[in-house]
Amino acid sequence: MDLKQAKNRLMAECSKKELSEKQAFAKLQKWAGEEASKKELEKTIAELKEDKYIDDARFAECYVRDKVRFSGWGPVKIMMKLNEAGVKRDVGQGAVEREKELIENKLKSILAAKKKEIERKFAKKVDEDERTLKLKKKAALYSFAQQRGFTFDMIQKIEKEL
């Protein structure tokens, strides 16, 4: 496939789903093959950016919203994945900040459900003292949320509200 065909294919894909500049460059490079030079690829990406097919800020907004809603990810994990996708830190941070309320609401619902699950799990352990049991429950809840990419401060704030 030549560069023009690869560009058209990338335009079609960008019309269907958001891609970061880095992701778009990788696809274009793969599709165009070795005939296209890096300079030609960069020029093509610049044209696609100018025509608004590629926009890292728009990609970050959509990515944050989707990962919070459908995967239940927190800001730490989202920022790490945006970084891997080649999105600049300030662009990613801005997208996360704009969705802060959605992130907190998702954390609240996740923690509420997990807290019930943990209560059922630890209800069977009657041989341990109350304080130890309470600490283990809290540790399990915090560990679960941190693995999803939520910060300790966020978890602590929401956990107090539950």
Q: What is the pLDDT of residue 126?
A: 66
Q: Where are the domains of the chain?
A: 3-54, 58-161
pLDDT tens digits for range 18-40: 999 999 999 999 999 888 899 99
Rounded Cα distance, 6 and 33, in Å: 9
| Structure tokens that stand for 131 in this block | 């304080």
Amino acid identity of residue 20, one-letter, is: S
pLDDT tens digits for range 91-141: 999 999 999 999 999 999 999 999 999 988 887 766 678 888 889 999 999
Span 65-73, mean pLDDT? 96
Q: Is 39 helix (H, G, I), strand (E, B) or coil?
A: helix
124 to each of 56, 120, 121, 157, how far by Cα in Å?
49, 7, 6, 28
